[in-house]
Amino acid sequence: MEKITRLNSLLEAVKHSPERVNRILILEGAKRPKIAELILWARRNHIPFSFLPAKRLRIIEKGHQGAVGFLTAKEYSTLDSILASKGIPFLVLLDGIEDPQNLGAIIRTAEGAGVDGILIPERRAATLTGAVVSVSAGAVEHMKVARVKNLARAMEELKVSERRTCRGRQLRPGAGRPLTRWGIAIIAGCGSAR
């Protein structure tokens, strides 16, 4: 079970994936508009919530923003379901992204850029943890993420389905190609610092 402490991420989960939210703990007397919206959506989606005094909520999570949610893990999509969901989906393939903070930031940016799906390898890659959900600021609730055994094989599969590949150097300003003409962007990490 994931613990979500960032208010925007929790609100997006309550709005768009209420089946994942098991319960919410809310700071007693919290007056923030986002807390009121969170309570409204929790009631609307029949999600159990309770109010706790500041001292008890701080014991559960020191870095909360007025609420803490407990969610089941987000399920991964399949490559086939991502490809079937749209005529020419815009995909991002991630390789070597091992830090959950980086994965969350990439998901947040990709969702804002209109990406339809993200592919990550099963090994040597960050997974969809609570940290990723929090850093993505709720964008993970709108993004299809698939884990594949082998990115090279997935790229071959995409070539067969006539998807074009855009490498990082082609994304730079002045490259002469609008990003929307490409179906795939590849982002490779440098690995972890040692």
pLDDT attached to residue 170: 43
Q: Splitting the chain (194 residues) into consecutive groups of 10 residues, what average pLDDT does each group show?
A: 89 93 94 94 96 93 91 89 78 90 93 90 90 88 92 80 51 45 63 48
pLDDT attached to residue 154: 86
The domain spans of the chain are 2-71, 79-188
Contact criterion met (CB below 8 Å) for 44 and 15: no
Fold of 2-71: 60s Ribosomal Protein L30; Chain: A; (3.30.1330)
The one-letter amino acid code at 87 reads: G
- In terms of Cα–Cα distance, which of 193, 108, 187, 141 is closest to 15? 141
**149-161 residues labelled b (16+ CB within 10 A) or e (exposed):** eebeebbeebeee
pTM of structure: 0.74
- For the record, the structure tokens of 104 come out as 């969350």
CATH code given to domain 79-188: 3.40.1280.10
* DSSP three-state, residue 153: helix
